[in-house]
Structure 1
Amino acid sequence: MTHREHKSVVIVGGGQAGLSVSYYLCREGLDHVILERHQKFHSWRSNRWDTFCLVTPNWQCRLPDFPYQGTDPEGFMVKDEITDYLDAFAETFDPPVIENCEVTKITQRPGGGYFVDSSQGDFSADQVVIATGGYDNPIVPPYAKTLDPSIQQMHSVDYRRPAQMPEGGTLVVGTGQSGVQLMEDLHLEGRDVHLAVGPAPRSPRMYRGRDATDWLYEMGHYHMTIDKHPNPEHAVSKTNHYMTGRDGGHEIDLRKFAREGVSLYGSVSGMDGSRIQFLPDLEANLDDADQSYVRIREAVDSYIDKNNIDAPTEPAFEKVWRPEQEITEIDCKKEGITSILWAIGFRPDYHWIDVDVFDARGRPVYRRGVCKTEGFYFIGLGWLNTWGSGRFLGIDEDSRYLVQQIAAKAKSTLQVAS
């Protein structure tokens, strides 16, 4: 029989979510271990580009008993500052992390609990927390294989700086937060940039004297729980509003970039050799993004009026550019495009979890991270409970709640055993 070290709790994933759970488990005196495939906070250290910075203000960084420590709460930490903050949090306690330890399988143990197999030994556990996030497999569509191999392809997870891209034009595909920031990164370097615009919404940055996220927090938007959301399925699947924290933070209006020379197209629909096809949805996607932008402004206006808040006024929104026609196909060679930068997201990978905690589409099923299968939990996913659940803002509340459930089950099990 395989020897297994037993722990009350095994946490899989050594990012901010896993270590936040560990922090509260340490306070409860529950023995546990964190199994991390790389090194703790790996994604922040290794999977970000050089000019990466937070999109939300520093004051939203609220790890357990360790809020943002710096002097610029309204600013936006850059990559090295983020990892310094995370490392400083880890130094406030002694998290039992095993690094370079890949979990290969989790199964239920006869009689209760779980078996956890890993590259550095096998464990048994009464309870298991999955804190691996949702960024395992970079998404690249199948038709990318049909593109002329002379055109370099890269996913955003591998992008670090413009110098990585060959001379010539780069087509950035995707307009979520990463896509628009990578587009700007290349544009500011004077590169020839093309952008395939998807249906992502956008947000104001500063509006009526304050950052839009400050207003939304004060308005209670970030306190809304998923069970109170009017359209929870849409909330979970919706792409985040794009803006940036770069150079002190600013909003991103793709129409302004078009005026500055960035070539805009609709959503990519196919590739064949050096040719790329697009849907005729550029103007619709720009309009939809602007509608989201305007709705946020209107919500803030309404809140200011309702509460008689003295705030500066803003000029009405105006569209500064619109496409003269919808381009539905280009030839990369004729356009001088020598590279594609994919920024259309990631998919989680749970193939190593052989436990009945998924729906028919392979998505984990839980309520506030607690699965129906006893002793099995998820944390660090968007809208686990609130908008901030997948971010620094909500991780303290989520991890504290989860450990309360873990501790209660551990106590109950101990009482039954005695």
Structure 2
Amino acid sequence: MPIEKTDTLVVGGGQAGIAMSEHLSSHSVDHIVLEKKRIAEAWRTGRWDTMVANGPAWHDRFPNLKFEDSHPDAFVPKERMAQYLCDYAEMIDAPVRTGVEVLNAEKKPGEQGFLVDTSEGQIEAKRIVVATGAFQVPVIPPVIPKEEDIVQLHSFHYHNSAQLPQGNVLVVGTGSSGVQIADELRREGKEVYLSVSPHDRPPRRYRGRDNVWWLGVLGLWDAPSMAPGTERFAICVSGARGGETVDFRRLAKEGVNLFGMTQSYKEGVLKFAPDLAESIAEGDRGYLAFLDMADAYVERTGVDLPQEPEARELLATPDSVTNPVSELNLAEAGITSVIWATGFRQDFNWLKADTFEDSGKPIHQRGVAAEPGIYFLGLPWQSRRGSSFLWGIWHDAKYVGDQIAIQRAYGQYDGEAAKITTAAR
């Protein structure tokens, strides 16, 4: 069977791969996009059923297609987001092949380009764009042994409470997924225990503007890296029920049991770090600092936005924070299931290239890898804070597409420009 050839192979048919295809097409770069399942599969089948986008429809989209059937300030359901990406791929005529998995990719010895093994044969490509996203392999810390009589699910595989047995639930992790799942389960009548990790807790809205608007006008979307000391912080922001500010004091007041970070497990007893009060306080400091920056912006620019002094009024500190519990017997607490909202790791084992640290982290500059011909897209903080968001991925894809076009132009140079022709006299 002859080996298919293409200039650029894009691995991944989600939001990163589709954005990449648009910019490659704009440069007339021959390319193929391979997706091992369906377009936007993670939006279709990953995470809980009622999940919505964390940003409003006017913002969390690609520039060239609006959510015409949604209010600009609405937070669209995950099924609508999946359809949006399918519609976008169709609009730009992206050459996506679904159901094709990339198994191995290696540099061709002594030649430019790569030989790629897929579930449907081999492909030769001069360039590879790794667009497999930031959320590849769900991680459950090895705390509670699998053989324990407790249902353990990662938040990516949790869909609804019907998956859970009778009994109470422990949710570990307080990023956007953890707090929304804990709150939803409580509203369904479950007794919920929430293990709180260090977090950034921005307001959903302030002075009549959404969080994403403030991040834009304050220049925070373009922050090149996380602030020192916040690398481990989860971001607590929610689009649920029309969008609301995450407030752990409110969750406690409404019945969620708060604990510190999960540390260890032995003989049915889970132990927690004595850091709950500090995690809550650190989240409050970030929240209030955000309001300070917003107020300073209004003062400096004179933009007409209503004051909102009540946003600074914090509820009373709950007893679970003042007198934290350091350990919990799961059976005595009636806990029969644990949902781990503990993040993801990336898996690039299929790509044999000298562009990874010993830890497996890609070595790149704004998506341009250390190994010539390899590019990345959709990495967290790839170029800025906004790199993992739809609009940020689109702009990162433009940069990567431009770099590919530049390298193609260099590759087409044949030396003619260096020849000097004597001017006619």
TM-score, scaled to structure 1: 0.93
Letter in 1 for 2:383: N
> In the superposition, relative to structure 1, how do residues 357 and 64 fare at CA in structure 2: closer, same or farther (>3 Å)?
farther
Q: Distance in 1 between matches of 2:410 and 2:191?
A: 62
Match of 2:256 in 1: 262
Query: Residue 58 of structure 1 contacts residue 73 of structure 1 at CA under 8 Å; is this kept in 2?
Result: yes
**3-state SS, counterpart of residue 115 of structure 1:** strand
Instruction: Tell me whether 1:51 sits opposite 2:50 in the alignment.
Output: yes
Q: Distance in 2 between matches of 1:332 and 1:301?
A: 45
Match of 2:161 in 1: 162
- Residue 402 of structure 1 and its aligned partner are, at CA, apart by 1.0
Match of 2:292 among 286, 294, 298: 298
Letter in 1 for 2:171: V
Letter in 1 for 2:385: W
Q: Give unpaired runs (5+ residues) of structure 2.
A: 417-425
- Residue 34 of structure 1 and its aligned partner are, at CA, apart by 1.0
Match of 2:275 in 1: 281
Match of 2:107 in 1: 108
Q: Distance in 1 between matches of 2:88 and 2:295?
A: 38
- Name the count of aligned residue pairs: 411
Q: Which has the higher helix share?
A: 1
- Residue 149 of structure 1 and its aligned partner are, at CA, apart by 2.1
Letter in 1 for 2:129: V
- Residue 3 of structure 1 and its aligned partner are, at CA, apart by 4.4
Of 121-130 and 352-361, more deviation after overlay is shown by 352-361
Of 119-128 and 359-368, more deviation after overlay is shown by 359-368
Match of 2:383 in 1: 385
Match of 2:317 in 1: 321
Letter in 1 for 2:261: S
Match of 1:193 in 2: 192
Larger radius of gyration: 2
Letter in 2 for 1:246: A
> In the superposition, relative to structure 1, how do residues 252 and 45 fare at CA in structure 2: closer, same or farther (>3 Å)?
same
Match of 1:121 in 2: 121
Query: Residue 129 of structure 2 contacts residue 374 of structure 2 at CA under 8 Å; is this kept in 1?
Result: yes
* Runs of 4 or more consecutive aligned structure 1 residues displaced over 6 Å after TM superposition: none
**3-state SS, counterpart of residue 320 of structure 1:** coil
**3-state SS, counterpart of residue 144 of structure 2:** helix
Q: Distance in 2 between matches of 1:341 and 1:86?
A: 28
Instruction: Tell me whether 1:143 sits opposite 2:143 in the alignment.
Output: yes
Query: Residue 101 of structure 1 contacts residue 119 of structure 1 at CA under 8 Å; is this kept in 2?
Result: yes
Q: Distance in 2 between matches of 1:240 and 1:172?
A: 14
Identity of aligned residues (%): 35
Of 327-336 and 391-400, more deviation after overlay is shown by 391-400
Of 366-375 and 308-317, more deviation after overlay is shown by 308-317
1:221-250 CA-partner distances (Å, limit 9, x unpaired) = 2133x2xx5x57767x44442121111100
Match of 2:336 among 338, 349, 365: 338
Query: Residue 156 of structure 1 contacts residue 342 of structure 1 at CA under 8 Å; is this kept in 2?
Result: yes
1:107-159 CA-partner distances (Å, limit 9, x unpaired) = 111211111111111111101100001222211112221x6622111111111
Q: Give unpaired runs (5+ residues) of structure 1.
A: none
1:280-302 CA-partner distances (Å, limit 9, x unpaired) = 11111111111111111111111
**3-state SS, counterpart of residue 359 of structure 2:** coil
1:163-205 CA-partner distances (Å, limit 9, x unpaired) = 2111110000000111111111111111111000011111111
Q: Distance in 2 between matches of 1:102 and 1:185?
A: 35
Letter in 1 for 2:338: I
**3-state SS, counterpart of residue 381 of structure 1:** coil
Query: Residue 23 of structure 1 contacts residue 64 of structure 1 at CA under 8 Å; is this kept in 2?
Result: no
Letter in 2 for 1:119: S
> In the superposition, relative to structure 1, how do residues 144 and 3 fare at CA in structure 2: closer, same or farther (>3 Å)?
farther
> In the superposition, relative to structure 1, how do residues 73 and 342 fare at CA in structure 2: closer, same or farther (>3 Å)?
same
**3-state SS, counterpart of residue 58 of structure 1:** coil
Q: Distance in 1 between matches of 2:17 and 2:228?
A: 25
Q: Distance in 2 between matches of 1:85 and 1:107?
A: 34
Query: Residue 148 of structure 1 contacts residue 273 of structure 1 at CA under 8 Å; is this kept in 2?
Result: no
TM-score, scaled to structure 2: 0.92
Q: Distance in 1 between matches of 2:161 and 2:279?
A: 26
Letter in 2 for 1:131: A
> In the superposition, relative to structure 1, how do residues 209 and 94 fare at CA in structure 2: closer, same or farther (>3 Å)?
closer
Q: Distance in 2 between matches of 1:333 and 1:417?
A: 76
1:315-363 CA-partner distances (Å, limit 9, x unpaired) = 2332422323121111111111111000010100111111011123221
Question: Which residues of 2 match residues 369-408 of structure 1 at below 5 A?
Answer: 369-408=367-406
Letter in 2 for 1:320: A
Letter in 1 for 2:160: R
> In the superposition, relative to structure 1, how do residues 107 and 71 fare at CA in structure 2: closer, same or farther (>3 Å)?
same
Letter in 2 for 1:220: G
Q: Distance in 1 between matches of 2:353 and 2:263?
A: 36
